[in-house]
Amino acid sequence: MKPRSPYLLNREQTVLVALDLQEPFLRKIFNRHELVQKCQFLILSAQTLDIPILWTTQYCEKMGAILPAFATDLEIGTPQSIDKLTFSAAANHTFTEALHGLNREQVLLCGVETHICVAQTAFDLQHLDYQVHVAADAVSSRRIEDHDLGIEKMRDRGILSNSAEGAVMELLLEAGTAEFKSILNLIK
């Protein structure tokens, strides 16, 4: 098989990062239902493909833990969330140490808010020489205009965007496998 494009996600090199999926942030988020579904799809797919997951909370003491639905999805084989006060997860030493320890080169982002924590994390990770991908339908903001501007700014600076499903299919590489069949059940 010929080498694949370096712009496609590779399951041996990817880490999924789920940012700040807490009720106070999701309460007024644009398209909340779809965002939650897409993030759950990414989390369950990453677990199926043995892709490491890092997840953050923003000021957990005041803003609370992640939504119970995500906590259930993340329990199996996933360490405790990394709490942060910085908007960028990559500005948090505990997060960057955990990420470096995984020895991966690609990061796939999901969570909230597109124009704040997602964008700042993406740019800081890019600055740290990670190839950053964002699942555009698995990130959101309170206002659609802010989401759109955040996606546009990231794309303009070389952050790669895709849909959650498109990203997972890149990671799968091929149909017909047991993993593909498991993930196909998540799509239906």
Residue 175 has pLDDT above 90, yes or no: yes
Residue 164 has pLDDT above 80, yes or no: yes
For 13-22, 32-41, 62-71, 133-142, which range has the lowest pLDDT when averaged over its residues? 62-71
Residue 96 has pLDDT above 90, yes or no: yes
Question: What is the predicted pLDDT for the residue at 38?
Answer: 97
Within a 10 A sphere around the Cβ of 179, how many other Cβ atoms? 18
Would you say 17 and 89 are in contact if contact means Cβ atoms under 8 Å apart?
A: yes
Higher pLDDT, 32 or 75: 32
Catalytic residue among 38, 73, 110, 117: 117
pTM (2 decimals)? 0.95
Residue 188 has pLDDT above 80, yes or no: no
* Residue 60 exposure: Cα atoms within 13 Å on the Cβ side: 13
Instruction: Say how far apart CA 42 and CA 94 lie, in whole Å.
Output: 23
> pLDDT tier at 78 (50, 70, 90 boundaries)?
low
Instruction: Say how far apart CA 148 and CA 141 lie, in whole Å.
Output: 9
The structural domains of the chain, ordered by start, are 14-187 (3.40.50.850)
Whose structure tokens read 């190839």? 131
Nearest-10 crossing angle of helices 164-172, 178-187: 170
Residue 131 has pLDDT above 80, yes or no: yes
Q: Please say if 20 is a catalytic residue.
A: yes
Catalytic residue among 84, 110, 124, 137: 84
Reference 90, options 129, 135, 128; nearest CA is: 128
Percentage of residues of the chain with pLDDT beyond 90 = 86
Q: Please say if 50 is a catalytic residue.
A: no
Q: Please say if 38 is a catalytic residue.
A: no
Sequence-distant (6+) residues with CB within 8 A of 14 are: 51, 104, 106, 107, 108, 171
Instruction: Say how far apart CA 15 and CA 64 lie, in whole Å.
Output: 24
The residue type of 77 is: G
Cα 8 → chain centroid: 15
Q: For residue 171, what are the CA distances in angstroms to 42, 76, 138?
A: 11, 20, 16
The residue type of 51 is: I
Q: What is the mean pLDDT of the chain?
A: 93
Instruction: Say how far apart CA 95 and CA 20 lie, in whole Å.
Output: 13
